[in-house]
Structure 1
Amino acid sequence: MKLRNLISGIVVGAVLISGTTAAQAEQKNSDTATKQTQIQLIRNATLKITYADTTFLIDPMLAEKGAYPGFEGTYRSHIRNPMIDLPMTVADVIAGVDAIIVTHTHLDHWDDAAQQLLPKELPIFTQNAADAELIRSQGFKQVSVLAQSADFAGITLTKTGGQHGTNEMYTIAPLAEALGDAMGVILQAPGYKTTYVVGDTVWHADVEQALDNYQPEIVILNTGYAQLEGFERSIIMGKDDVIRVNALVPKAAIIGVHMDAVNHAALSREELRVFVNEKGIADSVKVPADGEILKF
């Protein structure tokens, strides 16, 4: 009997030790695993990003289809904007939003409808004092300039640079003023994939530096290749820039947005999908439909 009890005790003890070890290993794996980031394309460059349990609304353009004239002096300016409806109600867009990031105040990133419909108490991050002053004048009460970096709900938001057009365009003073500045934003939090919202920019040294310095695992590109009349090149990125980003951060997931919604965007989603398939990088590049949710 004593021998039997001893053997039983050894077996039970081994099971308990094994179970404890397995539980500890599972907890350790859970603690070190990358946590999920959710990115939803609303329309155009408007995004809803849920990151570290915080939801950001990026560059809200919330008007109904055809609410505004086409952008004067741009490609297909006879077409009214937005070219397509929102895929959901404005209430659904706003639901659960904790803060707003406005990369710049062009109409297709911060429109009249957003100014009227968004709750005035929501925190808003802008690129500079001029944009902050404008948005405050529209009744918003918590507007901050993202001068370099800031902490929001345990998330580090870091401003990045770029250029909203070519060097040639910026030599023309009225055009340079109209194009203005636009920022990108890096999101970082422990256990979450570093995410880079590149913003309205052409390929630029600031973008290359941000990719090199932060090695983002998710990169969101405005790839509509928006064009002005009289200029061969674009004021934002296009399909060739997807190749450049993929070459610099080959393990990153790249998301192409800012297409099919405003008149001056010359590159369509379908064209970009065909291109990345031809280049053999379709596994790395996502081109979401309006309303589509991507999880990483």
Structure 2
Amino acid sequence: MKITLIRNATLWLEYGGLNWLVDPSFADQGSTPAIPHVPDSRPNPLVPLPATAESLSSPDILLLTHLHPDHWDEPAAKALLAGRGGSELPILAQPGDRERIASFGFSDVTEIEKTLTYRDVTITRTSGQHGIGEIGQKMGRVSGFVLRARNEPTLYIAGDTIWCDDAVQALDTHRPDVTVVNAGGAQFGEGDPIIMTPEDVASLCRHNADTAIVAVHLEAINHCQTTRETLASEMKQQGLQDRVRIPADGETLAF
């Protein structure tokens, strides 16, 4: 298995003999408004793509955890429609998202309620909690996915979730070899973080000592308050630096 971080939560996976694109957001740097009432007022995304949209436009399959614009946007949809798969690109998504995805022009959209198998890869949907209280409710439903295939590590893509019972259940049930966490500590002007913080990542490490952790969703959106340097420093202070890998945009990790 190889995992390439593109930017934010966008991943390119080589898994089970397939090329997977996860949560593509291809917007140009600075092309969308900043999220208001946070310390960093720069427009989003904060950084450019490390590759061209065209070079990312022909995966074998697309996996979407949810449809917030930093995980799925119009530039990505247009690039994928122009790619090899075109409107027939297979897309896997959480329940309730098919209609919106299809509205971009895609015809092969499958909602995963629990588990399905695609070309010898078993994909199981997990739940998450995109914040707590009123903000968590407003953020809506989000999902993660566990991938299993013969001769591959079990991979858990946690999605936009904080450390919560849903994440604990996913770890305990699936015992993943590798876990990808969105660890940018995103937070609005009021309320608690809506994705994992360094403290959450440390809690995950301690809960499951066997899973290798890949931390993404960092330094690309203006309300993400955790930097790579901050996360690395916190992991080192807690003696967890060997457990957590923090790739740069465009970097590929092999497992």
Please say if 1:134 is aligned against 2:94: no
1-structure distance, mates of 2:104, 2:35: 22
Please say if 1:123 is aligned against 2:123: no
Provide the aligned length of Structure 1 versus Structure 2. Answer: 250
The corresponding residue for 1:103 is 65
2-structure distance, mates of 1:273, 1:206: 25
Question: Any gaps of 5 or more consecutive residues in structure 1?
Answer: 1-36, 171-175
Runs of 4+ off more than 3 Å: none
The secondary structure found in structure 2 opposite 1:89 is coil
The corresponding residue for 1:240 is 199
Please say if 1:66 is aligned against 2:33: no
Please say if 1:263 is aligned against 2:226: no
The corresponding residue for 2:120 is 154
2-structure distance, mates of 1:258, 1:56: 18
Post-superposition shift, 1:77?
Answer: 6.4
Tell me the C-alpha RMSD between the 2 structures. Answer: 1.3
Give the one of 262, 271, 276 matched to 2:235.
276
Please say if 1:292 is aligned against 2:251: yes
Give the one of 217, 222, 226 matched to 2:186.
226
Please say if 1:93 is aligned against 2:52: no
Give the one of 148, 151, 156 matched to 1:191.
151
Contact 1:70-1:81 within 8 A present in 2 as well: yes
Farther off after superposition, 239-248 or 215-224: 239-248
Contact 1:42-1:93 within 8 A present in 2 as well: no
Quick check: which has more Rg, 1 or 2?
A: 1
In the superposition, the TM-score normalised over structure 1's length comes to 0.82
* Matched letter for residue 79 of structure 2: L
* Matched letter for residue 82 of structure 1: P
The secondary structure found in structure 1 opposite 2:35 is coil
2-structure distance, mates of 1:289, 1:137: 33
Post-superposition shift, 1:167?
Answer: 2.8
The corresponding residue for 1:27 is none
More helix by share: 1
The corresponding residue for 2:175 is 215
The corresponding residue for 2:44 is 81
Question: Which string of whole-angstrom CA distances, capped at 9 and with x for unpartnered residues, describes residues 159-182 of structure 1?
Answer: 000111113534xxxxx23x1111
Contact 1:197-1:220 within 8 A present in 2 as well: yes
The corresponding residue for 2:84 is none
The corresponding residue for 1:144 is 110
In the superposition, the TM-score normalised over structure 2's length comes to 0.94
Post-superposition shift, 1:52?
Answer: 1.1
Identity of aligned residues (%): 38
Contact 1:62-1:90 within 8 A present in 2 as well: yes
